[in-house]
Amino acid sequence: MADKILVFYGSYRADRMGIRLADFIVKGLQARGAEPELIDAKAVDLPMLDRMYKEYPKGQAPAAMEALAGKIRAANAFVFVTGEYNWGVQPGLKNLTDHFLEEWFWRPAAIASYSAGRFSGVRSGTAWHSILSEMGMVVVSSTLAVGPISQTLDAQGQATGDAGASLTRAFGRWADDLAWWTNAARAQRAVQAPPY
């Protein structure tokens, strides 16, 4: 059974570079036999958080929110591809994530960060670790950190140069870590339901 993995990306900028990393991850997970799906916060276009999904009466949430809630519930694992904005997280990705809570519980998540500079978005990745843990996900210890992204991935999400070769090597361990926790969560659910 192939792992259903949602790959979340959150930049709303016109010249988005991080989409290259999201595309690289989707292709890499597909090559490993998983079933990844890119969830682009800009395309989903949820409003600024007013009501969480669970705060709507059953069947009355906006259609995009209802559809995404179903995808989150059906997923085996999550990937969060995040840029770094002023040492912090991207507002578009954070806004999308905050619309849900229980839907995330008891599944693993992995983080991939990026930036135009040499710090590779690691401060954002560190912040996301705490956020995702608080939201009920098990965050794997392996991370991907890409920077400068324009020298690592081309416009089609293909690894280029020495930085791209380094990313390709790191991807295997990162994906193995996520797959192990995904299998562990599946096996545990088969013998014991989550406590809440």
Q: Give the model's pLDDT for residue 48.
A: 96
On the question of pLDDT at 17 being above 90, the answer is yes
On the question of pLDDT at 157 being above 90, the answer is yes
Would 42 be classed as within a structural domain? yes
Full strand arrangement of the beta sheet holding 108-114 = 35-40, 4-9, 77-83, 108-114, 138-146
Would 80 be classed as within a structural domain? yes
CA–CA separation, 62 and 127 (whole Å): 29
What does the mean pLDDT of the chain come to?
A: 95
Would 84 be classed as within a structural domain? yes
Would 196 be classed as within a structural domain? no
Q: Is 21 exposed, middle or buried (0-12, 13-18, 19+ CB in 10 A)?
A: buried
Residue 73 sits in a domain whose CATH number is: 3.40.50.360
Would 13 be classed as within a structural domain? yes
Would 63 be classed as within a structural domain? yes
Q: Give the model's pLDDT for residue 196.
A: 85
The whole domain housing 52 covers: 4-191
CA–CA separation, 60 and 190 (whole Å): 32
On the question of pLDDT at 85 being above 90, the answer is no
Residues 93-124: tens digit of each pLDDT: 999 999 999 999 999 999 999 998 888 889 99
What is the number of domains present in the chain?
A: 1
